[in-house]
Structure 1
Amino acid sequence: MPTTPTLQDRQDITDLMVGWIHRDLGEWDRLRDLFHPGARIEITWFEGAASDFVDASARMATTDLRTKHLVTAPRVTFSADGTRAVSETNAVIVAENSSIGLGCNGHNRFIDRIERRDGVWRIVDRKSVYDFATFTFPAGITEIDAEVVAKYPREYGALAYVLDRSGFPVGRTFATKGSELERDIKEPAFAWLDEEAGA
């Protein structure tokens, strides 16, 4: 039976998106709680189970690389039965590696598949589309290897370069604004909304 999403549903999903602050604060158990069991995540430096991502993030936090995420309110589309949703959320990834004196600002959009199970909304799949990125120089101008930057799409080249120099290599090409890879993320996500629950 179709169910009209409530304001509480929308607030709960917004709380999931802004809950990414738990990663920045090192609140690993609370970060883990944003995901349903079996959830997956694919971003520049990590692809796999969300539970493993939390562990990998905790390890990253012990290095010289620091990150902060500025997250907006999501745009949310619900399934007809009200048990699933797809959200698209603008974010800014601010990164800095103090040992190399280099940082970046990366602008992306998280595309999340979200399910309500036993009355609780959590993420089941998170992917990212990258819009553009720029370098920052917290301690003054630092030399950058342009050939290495050019290996990556311009939309996230600065982010990938800082990640790579920090020991977190980007192993494949990821979705950028308007790309076929973006369509490959979004079209199946919205088709998933039309699937019968439990199918």
Structure 2
Amino acid sequence: MQTTLQDRQDIADLMNGWMHRDLAQWGQLANLFHPEGTIEVTWFEGSATDFVAGSQRMGKSDMRSKHFVGQPVIRFNGAKAIVETNAMIIGENVALELGCVAHSRFYDLVEKRAGVWKIVRRQCIYDNAYFTFPCGVVEIDREAVRKQPREYAALGWLLEQGGFPVKRVFATKGSELERQMKAQGEDWLES
């Protein structure tokens, strides 16, 4: 399959579709994924369908989020592509009057089926994160924050306080987990 500029644009639009999560447009969010699509981010691992349900639950909680998604870097092999996209996660727990900003990269395996590009698997690599104080400085349990990798500790702690616990270690910039993720992605792309 010859890739075109339209394929690149369609994938860029797919990545920018993450805005549907921030706008509580649940049907459009679900439509970003193939039916068997999966996602792995700090607070969730599983099917895209279950992620949408979890996101709806988060939308009714004290947690608020906004994602800023950059221009994707795309590598094609026919009807498959690996897409890496910078993303900034801006979060806030309104009850705690505490927020965070996390810089990450979505690492997506996408596939074109019946003429449409959708996500097969979304994973995240975390680069760095820090707390924000929208209403003034508040106390933070520094020891509890240090239990998670520094690259997403602020985000992880804020999520846990909001009832969305981080259950394992995730890939961080330059980590062995990032190398493994990318090696598996290359195997998928070439298969």
Please state which band the TM-score falls in when normalised by the shorter chain.
over 0.9
SS of 1:47's equivalent in the other structure is strand
CA RMSD, 1 decimal: 0.5
Match of 1:15 among 13, 18, 22: 13
Deviations 1:92-134 (A, max 9, x none): 0000011001000000000000000011100000000000000
Which residue is 2:68 aligned to?
70
Give the structure-2-normalised TM-score.
Answer: 0.99
Is the counterpart of residue 179 in structure 1 residue 175 in structure 2?
Answer: yes
* 1:114-125 equivalences in 2 (<5 Å): 114-125=110-121
For 2:87 and 2:183, how far apart are their aligned partners in 1?
A: 21
The one-letter code of the counterpart of 2:189 is: L
Q: Percent identity?
A: 56
Aligned residue pair count: 191
Letter in 1 for 2:64: R
The 5 A counterparts of 1:38-187 are 38-79=36-77, 82-187=78-183
TM-score (norm 1): 0.95
Whole-Å Cα distance in 2 between the matches of residues 109 and 185 of structure 1?
Answer: 12
C-alpha distance in structure 2 between counterparts of 1:177 and 1:22, whole Å: 27
Where does structure 1 lack aligned partners over 5 or more consecutive residues? none
Give how far 1:4 is off: 2.6
Question: Secondary structure at 1:154's aligned position in 2?
Answer: coil
Runs of 4+ residues over 4 Å off in structure 1: none
**Structure 2 letter corresponding to 1:183:** R
One-letter amino acid of the counterpart of residue 27, structure 2 = D
Q: Which digits, 9 at most, give the CA deviation of each residue in 1:42-67, with x for residues without a partner? A: 00000000010001101100011000
